Chains A and B, each alone.
Chain A
Amino acid sequence: MGSPVSFDYAPAPESRAVISIKPKYGHFIGGKFVAGSKHFPTINPATEEVLSQIALAGKAEVDAAVKAARKAYTTTWSKMSGKERGKYLFRIARILQERAREFAVLETLDNGKPIRESRDVDIPLAAAHFFYHAGWADKLEFAGLGTSTKPHGVAGQIIPWNFPLLMLAWKIAPALAAGNTVVLKPAESTSLTALLFAEVCQQAELPAGVVNIVTGDGSTGALIVNHPGIDKIAFTGSTEVGKIIARAVAPTHKSVTLELGGKAANIIFEDAAIDEAIEGIVNGIFFNQGHVCCAGSRLILQENIAEEVLEKLKKRMSKIRMGDPMDKNTDLGAINSKEQLLKIRELSASGDAEGAQRWTAPCELPAKGFWFAPTIFTGITQSHRIAREEIFGPVLSVLTFRTPQEGIDKANNTPFGLSAGIWSEKGSRIFWASQQLRAGVIWANTFNKFDPTSPFGGYKESGWGREGGRHGLSAYLKGVGHE
């Protein structure tokens, strides 16, 4: 017997030819692109190539966007029937499908995520979100208990860099379906697909001012949060910023939804189908470089199978292909920014310092760009920083348990409560564990699945409200009986 034959993957790069990036962008206000005053560069995190210059919105631009949104709300959008509003959303969904490849390429260049994910997950789901919510626009009276059919008015929406277009869709689609108009700010490092989406709004002939997009950093976000002309704030991002927003809007009439951090437990019971669980663990923490608020970042293993699982996991992790995000074979792309890479390194170093054992998959890091190889830490206690804090990178913390109740207790020992995973072949155990886990989304024998019909959002410090499904829609309608 000779050694097993192994095949190398030939490069399979996706073409950039479908897109053209302008050297400089402005804001999208009142249906038109308007020039910005100050600019900052946006780069491809896989190569550090400067892709374009993005405008930094200050008070004047945010004021103009809020004014445009208010005007569109008062004169057009709130007067239009739900049936007609819905048609615009259907149009947007269709155009996103038609231009899906452009969006996927642009997203991968600007974000660093593998083209396989932007092409197969981000963009199709974004289109699906618009298609789903389009159908709600003329059915608001059926949106549920405790909601009215009245929108808030102007929604200010601030989204993160991990799923740029998808988060835009999660925000804009329900807002528009419910009859609100929008001022949206994409994340500082990933503005390009939001600006391409502005073109989609133009192609769909969406009335001017219904969607306004201003680009910028945290200072622009603060201007939106504190703007007196905004009725509803929707934010996805860190728990730290979420609390700042919660305090800022506390004395105001603004309604708020927050989709914040997580430290999800992925619990593997002794009766799990191990090979399937390995795939679920890998998907749970290494999908999108671990830049996922609901990532399964704490692996909680029943003690008697821990050795076997870790051995198989390391073998599987050694097969992860990290590198050029534009290559269709790539599994793990670039870390989105230098800042985020430094944060991942700092938290990982705390794992070493606190006595955990690090294991990193053998892989070559490209010379340029921001990279972090898939890593696991064992020998962790619940008080370790890497067991408590959100790393938001491809780093997995491993804990063990003996009895099912101990596993649940460890899983719930966190101020977060966004998601959790359960791996078991026993139905009653899955239902028992899913009831015990204090998290808004439970994936049993699967992980990191998303759908516009499926409510997503967290317990405790993972946020306020849900996105997706009837429950998510209601966040964009006024509550009944609220003061």
Chain B
Amino acid sequence: MSNRIDVKKTYKLFINGAFPRTESGRTYEIKSAKGVFIANPCLASRKDLKDAVVAARAAQSSWNKASAYNKGQILYRIAEMLEGRRAQFVDEIVLVTGATKSKAEKEVTDSVDRLVWYAGWSDKLSSLSGALNPVAGPYYNFTVPESMGVIAAIAPEVPSLLGLIEAIAPIIVGGNTIVVLASTKAPLSAMSFAEVIATSDVPAGVINILTGKKDEIAPWMASHMDIDGFDISGLAAKSHGAIRIAGAENLKRIYSFKSANPGRILAYLEDKTVWHPIGL
């Protein structure tokens, strides 16, 4: 046994490509499955959410304009970076959740593979979901899926890494930017994943990750007037009604999903139809 003292990591938020502490100065304690202290992650506030939305809004236009090829490659790059740091993620999942090593390894494997799967959707969306509409007149008429804007999401408590990726990947692949609240009890995977994002050519502000309490942050996400959509897959069903009521103020698109599917991507895209006359 070495007598070396560990250099422990301070877990912070991930906003606009940087790692700030919460402006509120608040933290909360997380312990291992065995009850041993691990870290004091940030307890994000409403103001942190506002800052994250400002960053997400500022980043949206240029992320949306990136070519589908480019966006696909960046998602694939996230998968590459995650693959290279498998061991760290496995260790963190085991430490925090008490999962077996093999179960944690499977979650990391699934996470990498899920990113690759969503990456491949990038340049297929408009050919599979768009349309050339045969209108009864001399008009060229087509429908294309377009990004919706800034989307908020609540990641599920478990699986903390795969659930986070399932929240982020389908939302950003179509050109949206995101503010996501990580698992409250197991936020380590999320904050380490932010380091993966920071080294994956993802432009600042495209993905913003908060840690904190769902009951505190979700209602602010629901009522924020500059958030266009909200993925509440990670919220308990009993709170969905109140969240949808708050979200009605700007007719936010609010959905909840149980599985990975292309509907999850399309839910946060808008269909735009363009008409133009045909003639000499």
Whether A and B are associated in the same complex: the answer reads yes
- Hey, which chain B residues are within 8 Å of A415, CB to CB? 250
Q: Are A454 and B143 in contact (CB under 8 A)?
A: yes
Binds B, one of A48-56, A94-102, A306-314, A440-448: A440-448
Contact present for B273 and A455 (CB under 8 Å) = yes
List of A residues within 8 angstroms of B249 by Cβ: 243
Task: Check B128–A457 contact: CB distance below 8 A.
Answer: no
Residues of B at the A interface (CB closer than 8 Å) are 128-129, 131, 133-137, 139, 141, 143, 146, 148, 228, 233, 237, 240-242, 244-245, 247-251, 253, 255-267, 270-277
| Assembly CA distance A444 to B256 (angstroms) | 36
A363 in the interface (beta carbon within 8 A): no
Give Cα A456–Cα B251 distance, bound, in whole angstroms.
17
The reply to whether B266 and A483 form a contact with Cβ atoms under 8 Å apart is: no
Which of the candidate stretches A79-87, A139-147, A373-381 sits at the interface with the other chain? A139-147
Contact residues in B for A146 (Cβ distance below 8 Å):
261-267
List residues of chain B with CB within 8 A of the CB of A439.
272
**A242 at the B interface (CB under 8 A):** yes
Given A461-B251, A481-B264: A469 and B131 within 8 A (CB)?
yes
Say yes or no: A449 contacts B139, CB within 8 Å.
yes
- Known: A145-B266, A451-B133, A483-B256. Is A243-B271 also a contact (CB below 8 A)? no
Task: Please tell me if the beta carbons of A444 and B275 are within 8 angstroms of each other in the complex.
Answer: yes
Q: When the two chains form the complex, which single residue of A243, A442, A479 contacts B273, counting CB atoms closer than 8 Å? A: A442
CB within 8 Å of B: which A41-85 residues: none
Q: A246-B251, A461-B251 are in contact. Are A145 and B276 (CB under 8 A)?
A: no
A contact set with B: CB distance below 8 Å: 128, 144-147, 239, 242-243, 246-247, 250-252, 258, 260, 415, 430, 434-435, 439-446, 449, 451, 453-457, 459-461, 463-464, 466, 469-471, 479-483
Are B275 and A453 neighbours in the complex by a CB distance under 8 Å? no
B263, B264, B275: the one contacting A454 at CB < 8 Å is B275
Could you tell me if A455 and B263 are in contact, using CB atoms closer than 8 angstroms? no
The distance in angstroms between the C-alpha atoms of A238 and B277, with both chains bound, is 30
- Nearest-Cβ distance from residue B151 to partner chain A, whole angstroms: 13
Q: A446-B277, A469-B131 are in contact. Are A464 and B263 (CB under 8 A)?
A: no
B248 and A455 form a contact (CB under 8 A): no
Q: Which residues of A contact B273 (CB under 8 A)?
A: 440-442, 454-456, 469
Distance A479 CA – B146 CA, assembled complex (angstroms): 19
Q: A243 contacts which of B129, B131, B248, B259 (Cβ < 8 Å)? A: B248
* A-B contacts besides A146-B264, A441-B272, 4 pairs, CB < 8 Å: A146-B266, A440-B270, A446-B276, A454-B135
CA distance A443 to B245 in the complex (A): 33
Contact in complex: A454, B245 (CB < 8 Å): no
Give the interface SS of chain B, mostly helix, strand, loop or mixed: mixed
In the bound complex, CA of A444 to CA of B274 (Å) = 7
Q: How far is the CB of B240 from chain A (nearest CB, A)?
A: 8
Bound CA span A13–B35, Å: 87
CB pair A145 B129 closer than 8 Å: yes
| A440 & B129 in contact (Cβ 8 Å cutoff) | no
Report yes or no: A451 in contact with B262, Cβ–Cβ below 8 A: no
Knowing A246-B251, A455-B133, A469-B133, the reply to whether A483 touches B275 (Cβ < 8 A) is: no
CB-based contact B241/A250 at 8 Å: yes
Chain A positions within 8 Å of B272 at CB level: 434, 439-442
* Contact among B129, B135, B146, B228 for A451, CB-based, below 8 A: B135
Q: How far is the CB of B252 from chain A (nearest CB, A)?
A: 9
CB distance from B126 to the nearest CB of A (A): 11
Cross-chain contact A444 with B131 (CB below 8 angstroms): no
Instruction: Using A251-B241, A481-B261 as known contacts, say yes or no to A471 and B271 having CB atoms under 8 A apart.
Output: yes
Q: Which 3 A-B pairs have the closest CB atoms?
A: A146-B263, A251-B241, A250-B244
The answer, among A456, A457, A460, for a CB contact under 8 Å with B250, is A460
A459 to chain B, nearest CB (A): 5
Do A449 and B135 contact each other (CB < 8 Å), given the known contacts A415-B250, A439-B272? yes
Let me know if B143 and A145 touch, CB within 8 A.
no
A466 to B244, CA, bound (A): 20
Q: Which residues of A contact B263 (CB under 8 A)?
A: 145-147, 479-482
Q: How far is the CA of A454 from the CA of B256 in the complex (A)?
A: 28
CB <8 Å contact, A451 and B251: no
Query: B129 touches which one: A144, A246, A250, A464 (CB < 8 A)?
Result: A144
Given contacts A251-B245, A453-B133, A471-B271, contact A460 B251 (CB under 8 A): yes
Cβ A481 vs Cβ B259 within 8 A = yes
- Which residues of chain B are within 8 angstroms of A451 by Cβ–Cβ distance? 133, 135-137, 141
Beyond A147-B263, A480-B261, A482-B257, whether A449 also contacts B137 by CB under 8 A is: yes
